[in-house]
C-alpha cells in the first residue's frame, strides 16, 4: 500500500467534517476522501442492522477509491458497526468512540464521567463499556441529546434556544458531580462554547474528533502508512444535498471546499466481498 493513498472518512452527513477538519489540521500531508450519507441521515435513531448495511456500502465505495485507512467519523456508526467492518477489511479502521473514551479515562480526577450522544450511541452502552474496562472505579452517566444535531444543522450554534436546550439536557450532570464530559456525537464539538457555559466551565470537555485524528496519526506511523509528502487534493462525496453540504463544509473546514459530488450509494453492495486495493 502506497503512503500517498488517501484516508477514507465517512459519516451520516455533515457532522463528520469536524473529524475531517481535525485530520487536516493535525495530519496536513494526508489526502482525505470524505463521504457524507446526507440522503439517509440521521443514523442516530436507526437500528444496528441498518447502520451496518449503510456502513458496508460506504466502505465498498471507499475501498474502490484505494484508501489506505478508514475513519468512521460517526459516533453512532462507530458504536454499532466498527467491529463488523474491522473484521472484514485489511486496511486499518478507526472509530471515534475508543479514542474519546481513552482520553476521558485519562483526564478524569474524580472518576465521574458523563457521555452525551445520539440515542443509538448512548443505548449501545459502548462508551460505558470501554470506560469501565479501562478503569473499573469509574462511574459513567450517559444521556442522549437528540435535539443538538438539528440545532447545529440549522446554524443555531450560539443561540439562546440552544442554550436553553443544553441546560435542560445537562442539568442532571451538575448534580452528578461529573468532572469530564465526552462530546460523543460529531456535531457536539461545534456546541462546545454553549456546553461549557451551561456547565459553568467546571467540566473537562473531551472532543473525540481531536482524539481520533491523534490516534489516526499514531496508527499510520505504526503501520508505515504515514505520508511525508504534502497532498491536499481532498475529495468530498455525498448521497444528497450538495449545496447544503458545501455551505456547511466551508463554515468549518480549514481549506476551501470547491464542490462535493453526489453519488448513488445504493449502487454499492452491502457485502464486503474483497478489497479493491
Active site residues: 74, 185
5 conformational bin, left if phi > 0, alpha if psi -120 to 50, beta if neither: beta
Q: Where are the alpha helices (DSSP H) in 137-254?
A: 148-153, 160-176, 192-198, 208-222, 242-252
- Grouping H, G, I as helix, E, B as strand and the rest as coil, residue 68 is coil
Among 5, 6, 9, 15, binds ligand DGL (CB under 6 A): 15
148 binds ligand DGL (CB under 6 A): no
From the list 5, 7, 8, 12, which residue makes contact with ligand DGL (rule: CB under 6 A)?
Answer: 12
Measured at CB, which residue is nearest to ligand DGL?
Answer: 44
Q: Are strands 180-184 and 139-144 parallel, antiparallel or unpaired?
A: unpaired
**CA-CA-CA-CA dihedral for 226, 232, 235, 241, to nearest 10:** 120
Cα–Cα distances in angstroms (integers) from residue 233 to residues 29, 167, 173, 254, in the given order = 10, 41, 42, 13
Q: Kindly report whether the peptide bond that precedes residue 173 is cis, defined as omega within 30 degrees of 0.
A: no
The binding track of 60-89 with respect to ligand DGL, each residue x by CB under 6 A or -, is: --------------xxx-------------
Minimum distance from CB of 194 to ligand DGL (Å)?
17
Out of 20, 41, 62, 151, the only residue in the binding site for ligand DGL (CB under 6 A) is 41
Residue from 42, 92, 99, 142 that binds ligand DGL (CB under 6 A)? 42
**Interactions with ligand DGL, residue window 156-195 (CB under 6 A):** 185-187
Binding site for ligand DGL (CB under 6 A): 11-12, 15, 41-44, 74-76, 117-118, 121, 149, 185-187
Amino acid at each position: 500500500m502506497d503512503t500517498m493513498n488517501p484516508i477514507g472518512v465517512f459519516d451520516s452527513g455533515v457532522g463528520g467534517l469536524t473529524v475531517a477538519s481535525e485530520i487536516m489540521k493535525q495530519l496536513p500531508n494526508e489526502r482525505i476522501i470524505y463521504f457524507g450519507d446526507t440522503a439517509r441521515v440521521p443514523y442516530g435513531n436507526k437500528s444496528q442492522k441498518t447502520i451496518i448495511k449503510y456502513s458496508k456500502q460506504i466502505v465498498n465505495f471507499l475501498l474502490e477509491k484505494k484508501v489506505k485507512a478508514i475513519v468512521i467519523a460517526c459516533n453512532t456508526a462507530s458504536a454499532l458497526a466498527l467491529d463488523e467492518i474491522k473484521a472484514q477489511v485489511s486496511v486499518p479502521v478507526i472509530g471515534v468512540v475508543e479514542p474519546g473514551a481513552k482520553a476521558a479515562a485519562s483526564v478524569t480526577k474524580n472518576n465521574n464521567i458523563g457521555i452525551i450522544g445520539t440515542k443509538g450511541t448512548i443505548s449501545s452502552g459502548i462508551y460505558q463499556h470501554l470506560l469501565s474496562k479501562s478503569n473499573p472505579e469509574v462511574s459513567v452517566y450517559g444521556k442522549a441529546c437528540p435535539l443538538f444535531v438539528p440545532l447545529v444543522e440549522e446554524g443555531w450554534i450560539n443561540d439562546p434556544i440552544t442554550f436553553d436546550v443544553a441546560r435542560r439536557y445537562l442539568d442532571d450532570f451538575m448534580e452528578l458531580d461529573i468532572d469530564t464530559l465526552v462530546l460523543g456525537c460529531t456535531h457536539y464539538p461545534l456546541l462546545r462554547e454553549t456546553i461549557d457555559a451551561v456547565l459553568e466551565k467546571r467540566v473537562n470537555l473531551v472532543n473525540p474528533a481531536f482524539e481520533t485524528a491523534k490516534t489516526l496519526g499514531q496508527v499510520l506511523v505504526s503501520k508505515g502508512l504515514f505520508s511525508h509528502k504534502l497532498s491536499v487534493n481532498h475529495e468530498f462525496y455525498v448521497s444528497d444535498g450538495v449545496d447544503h453540504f458545501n455551505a456547511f463544509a466551508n463554515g468549518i473546514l480549514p481549506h476551501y471546499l470547491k464542490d462535493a459530488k453526489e453519488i448513488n450509494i445504493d449502487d454499492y453492495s452491502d457485502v464486503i466481498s474483497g478489497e479493491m486495493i
